[in-house]
């Protein structure tokens, strides 16, 4: 349990690359503490709406991972870039969100390789890059 594929040949036969994004709402605790949980909930709902747009635009799977973190899983043809997904995420979150205070997100992603077949390792790699993104903002 916890493995993406039963054997590596199952994945190697695929004509697609698999990517996992991890997204975290920046300073979410501060938002809840200073602006209240109702505003925090509205920001989570707005984040979910944006991710639904991404899922529709790029045929990705989205899920709330916990608290203020979300996971996005996308497949891309071997020659197809993942940066359009990343760029659309950044663009949609940088836009003004009517009725809400400004908020930002940190995003990290990882491309599947055979060393990441165990799901927690795949998430851990994306999490590492998300924290690098978060630290650049400080």
Each residue of 56-77: pLDDT tens digit?
A: 999 999 999 999 999 999 999 9
Residue with tokens 């973190």: 69
| pLDDT on residue 39 | 97
Beta strand extents in 8-131 (DSSP E only): 16-25, 61-66, 69-77, 105-111
Is the pLDDT score of 10 beyond 60? no
- The predicted model scores a pTM of 0.86
Question: How far apart are the C-alpha atoms of 39 and 16, rounded to whole Å?
Answer: 39
Region 34-42: what's the mean pLDDT? 96
Delineate the domains of the chain, giving CATH numbers in brackets: 8-136 (3.30.70.270)
| pLDDT on residue 97 | 85
Is the pLDDT score of 129 beyond 90? yes
């Amino acid at each position: 349990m916890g493995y993406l594929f039963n054997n590596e040949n199952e994945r190697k036969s695929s004509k697609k690359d698999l990517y996992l994004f991890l997204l975290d709402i920046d300073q979410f605790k501060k938002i809840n503490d200073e602006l209240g949980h109702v505003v925090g909930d509205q920001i989570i709902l707005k984040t979910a709406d944006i991710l639904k747009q991404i899922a529709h635009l790029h045929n990705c799977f989205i899920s709330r991972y916990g608290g203020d973190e979300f996971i996005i899983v996308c497949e891309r043809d071997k020659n197809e870039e993942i940066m359009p997904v990343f760029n659309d995420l950044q663009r949609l979150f940088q836009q003004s969100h009517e009725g809400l205070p400004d908020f930002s997100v940190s995003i990290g992603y990882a491309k599947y390789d055979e060393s990441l077949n165990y799901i927690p390792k795949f998430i851990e790699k994306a999490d590492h890059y998300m924290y690098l993104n978060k630290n650049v903002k400080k």
